[in-house]
Amino acid sequence: MGSPHLLSSWQLKDLTLKNRVVLAPLTRARAGVERMPNALMAKYYAQRASAGLLISEATVVSQQGIGWLNSPGIYSDEQAIAWQQVTRAVHEREGRIFLQLWHCGRASHSSFQPDGGWPVSASAIAIQGDEIHTPLGKQPHELPRALATEEVPLVVEDYRRAAARAREAGFDGVEIHGANGYLIDQFLQSKTNQRGDRYGGDCEGRFQFLREIVEAVLTVWPAGRVGVRLSPNGIFNDMGSPDFREMALATAAQLDTFGIGYLHIMDGLAFGFHGLGEPMALREFRSVFSGTLMGNCGYTQETAEAAIARGDGDLIAFGRPYISNPDLVERFTHGWPLASDADMAVWYSFDEKGYADFPAYG
Ligand SMILES: Cc1cc2nc3c(=O)[nH]c(=O)nc-3n(C[C@H](O)[C@H](O)[C@H](O)COP(=O)(O)O)c2cc1C
């Protein structure tokens, strides 16, 4: 089947993307306890370099931000240098790759914290339900401590430093991870932000943390090389706020004033929906955001093509299909069948099996 829209090039400010297919950020936990990018990761990303844009797995900006076993970091010079083998491998195949900047906030555990203290968040509200995989095995979520007002700029500075290291590492840009119930989302959402200081209150107050992060990152990167990811419909990490629509539209409108490269919305419901109203659709963001709009979550070749043809979005990110189909673009181009979904057991396993060993078609 033809996909003339999905497979056409796109101008992301000064960057020409060869098609509209994006590798969604996918945590794969292959960076070892040192959280160091390695040759195996370079091979994995290079295999997927025919995407118009690759977004790296979520990468922690500080040790405080860690909340996942064996996920990579960008908080040391050694990590920045080690990332160069990944960016080089992607560039050799004429791919483009952004680094996703991550701080888990309350989705962390004291056993990940450098001082053994509590994880931090906007407010002292714990994740209900799910447990977390930690160096001590599976544990219940802990009650986080609210960051003090004067601590917040220190976290912002961690993002700025990480963004600077991403440049040294050779990335083409950065995506600020504001989705899926991690620290930025914890500040944005009324469910998790009950602060009385300038970082809380109405949508504008709750946006202040992200505003300062964007401003800090823009001291390092041109605006066109910066994206932001949001998940207003999502429930992952026990999220979902009654004012989700107002919050997401206000945030997108604020982000538009910075002229950032793209806004990345997990509009699909395939990762869980909180049911607190009509789910947000990608096209709603067109009214408040004038830059490149990226959709994600549960898209197929057909629905992605249709969304772009209708003008709902400009780029579509694919997550799970990319785990077992490194050559997703070629399969779309030639109408080749997709490999069946990878077993969830290999998503975050730490070894080579189920990672860079999915063959291209044919
Ligand atoms: C194994 C796995 C790891 C993921 N890791 C991340 C991540 O690091 N950062 C992020 O923003 N989303 C992450 N996600 C969410 C995906 O980017 C994507 O939103 C989700 O898979 C839905 O898209 P899909 O239906 O195309 O898979 C992850 C999803 C999966 C399945």
- The tokens of 291 are what? 């830059």
Q: Which long-range contacts (CB under 8 A, 24 or more apart) does 248-251 make?
A: 248/280, 248/285, 249/284, 249/285, 249/287, 249/288, 250/203, 250/204, 250/207, 251/178, 251/188, 251/203, 251/207, 251/210
C-alpha closest to that of 229 among 255, 265, 204: 265
Instruction: Find the catalytic residue in 182, 199, 262, 299.
Output: 182
User: Would you call 182 a catalytic residue per the annotation?
Assistant: yes
pLDDT of residue 278: 98
To the nearest 10°, the Cα dihedral for 295, 171, 251, 123? Answer: 110
| Euclidean distance between CA atoms 4 and 22, whole angstroms | 16
If you write DSSP's letter for every residue of 8-60 in order, what string do you get?
S-EEETTEEESSSEEE-------STTTT---HHHHHHHHHTTTSSEEEEEEEE
Cα of 150 vs centre of ligand 1, distance in Å, is 32
Mean pLDDT for all residues in the chain: 97
Determine the longest span between alpha carbons in the chain, in angstroms: 59
pLDDT per residue as tens digits for the range 283-325: 999 999 999 999 999 999 999 999 999 999 999 999 999 999 9
| Euclidean distance between CA atoms 181 and 185, whole angstroms | 5
C-alpha closest to that of 230 among 351, 133, 317: 317
Question: Which atom of ligand 1 is the closest one to the Cα of 179?
Answer: 11
pTM reported for the whole predicted model: 0.98
Say which CATH topology domain 22-297 has: TIM Barrel (3.20.20)
The domains of the chain are located at: 22-297
Question: Which atom of ligand 1 is the closest one to the Cα of 323?
Answer: 1
Task: Kindly give the interhelix angle for 77-92 and 39-47, rounded to the nearest 10 degrees.
Answer: 30
pLDDT of residue 130: 83
Spell out the alpha helix ranges (H) of the chain. 39-47, 77-92, 152-168, 183-188, 203-217, 244-256, 301-310, 320-324, 328-334
Which residues in the chain show pLDDT less than 70? 1
| Euclidean distance between CA atoms 280 and 308, whole angstroms | 17
Pick from 35, 56, 70, 320 the residue to mutate for probing ligand 1's pocket: most ligand atoms within 8 Å of its CB.
320
Question: Which atom of ligand 1 is the closest one to the Cα of 180?
Answer: 11
pLDDT of residue 1: 64
* Residues across the chain: 362
| Euclidean distance between CA atoms 102 and 336, whole angstroms | 35
Report the amino acid identity of residue 192. T
Sequence-distant (6+) residues with CB within 8 A of 267 are 233, 279, 280, 281, 282, 295, 296, 297
In 3-state terms, the chain is what percent helix, strand and coil (to 5)?
Answer: 30, 15, 50
To the nearest 10°, the Cα dihedral for 317, 320, 321, 325? Answer: 110
In this structure, the number of other CB atoms found within 10 A of the CB of residue 211 comes to: 17
| Euclidean distance between CA atoms 317 and 238, whole angstroms | 23
Taking the mean position of all CA atoms in its chain, how far away is CA 264? Answer: 9
Cβ(24) to ligand 1 under 6 A? Answer: yes
